Amino acid sequence: MDIAYFQALVSGAAVGSAYALVALGFSVTFTTTKTLNFSHGEFVSAGAFIGVSVLLLAVGKPMTSSTFAGVQPSALVQLLALLVAAGVMGAIGWLLYLTGVRPFSGRPGMAWVMSTLGFGVILQSLGLAIWGPQPVVVPSPVGDSVVRLWGVGVRPQELLMLAVAVLVMWGVDHAMRKTLLGQVMRAVAQNPGVASLMGINVQRVMIGAFVASSALAGLSGFMLAPIAQASLFMGLAVGLKGFSAAMIGGLSNARGCVIGGFLIGLLESFVNLWSAQWREVTVFVLVILVLAVRPNGLFGRAMVEKV
């Protein structure tokens, strides 16, 4: 295989794994609550800055600093920052559900769309007030020196991003398909009324779906920060590509969403070899073509309401 193509394959898989995590978050909330968090991109950005703030405080710098000035946080601190980013974003997801989704669920119309968009605007504005608009160069926990694989230079953070994302996605898939929690979530997705009669706390399950989805966004943002720099505007593109991946794979199929994320990441990377200006165009042309042929995505199924 040509070196340039192998390089594009590795980079595309790494970025695609971030898109897949975001797409998986969309799938979790949609299959459980039939709603989506349209501020998911802002959650990615916020997760990145929350994790970076932990790193900065741990090395003795103010959390509003825009550089680490050559200081390398330890692996333990990096792990702590990742957990804090995912945990805090999960808590914010809980708040989003209680204030922006639950009051409008079950009512006609789609007021929750505007409420989640508004929540994202508020979140970004708070972030700008705290951290400012400047991006932050974040050191990778595995170093920034290029690793040579079969003659191809690969950034260690890309390999780490890919490995962590695959592990997390496997864990979520296992939990959804093989555990009691997954059975409960599928029951709520199928029919919340019947699930409630069976003794399932439907509201708790729906809150859990938003917590898990938001935690995945925070994880994705923190893992992407050393690759693309931490920026409060980085989440817009990531969230949009993640949503596109979910639409391509099928919102109702978690595995399909993951496949869609990797597909978009690889497509972007390979098109970038030819012409960077056509990268975005190609992605959204693919989305339009897939939805024109398969309105529910490549692996999705039509939702049938029984009456």
**What is d(CA 242, CA 158) in angstroms, rounded to the nearest whole number?**
18
Check residue 305 and give its pLDDT: 47
List of E strands, 69-164: 147-149, 152-154
**What is d(CA 80, CA 82) in angstroms, rounded to the nearest whole number?**
5
Name the 3-class secondary structure at 146. coil
Name the 3-class secondary structure at 147. strand
Spatial CA neighbour of 168 closest among 208, 132, 200, 216:
216
- Measured in degrees and rounded to the nearest 5, phi and psi for residue 3 equal -60, -45
Residues sharing a CB contact under 8 Å with residue 124, sequence separation 6 or more, in sequence order: 42, 45, 46, 232
Phi-psi region of 161 (alpha: psi -120 to 50; beta: other; left: phi over 0): alpha
| Helix, strand, coil % over all residues of the chain, rounded to 5 | 75, 5, 25
- Measured in degrees and rounded to the nearest 5, phi and psi for residue 198 equal -85, 5
Check residue 96 and give its pLDDT: 94
Q: What does DSSP say about strands 147-149 and 152-154: parallel, antiparallel, or unpaired? A: antiparallel
Please, are residues 14 and 162 in contact by the beta-carbon 8 Å criterion? yes
**What is d(CA 130, CA 134) in angstroms, rounded to the nearest whole number?**
11
Name the 3-class secondary structure at 154. strand
Check residue 307 and give its pLDDT: 40
Check residue 211 and give its pLDDT: 95
**Sequential pLDDT tens for the chain (307 residues):** 577 788 888 888 988 999 999 999 999 998 888 888 999 999 999 999 999 999 999 888 888 887 787 788 888 999 999 999 999 999 999 999 999 898 887 676 778 889 999 999 999 999 999 998 888 888 888 777 777 766 667 788 888 888 999 999 999 888 888 888 888 888 887 788 888 888 889 999 999 999 999 999 999 999 998 888 888 998 888 999 999 999 999 988 888 999 999 999 999 999 988 877 888 889 899 999 999 999 888 887 765 444 4
Please, are residues 91 and 211 in contact by the beta-carbon 8 Å criterion? yes
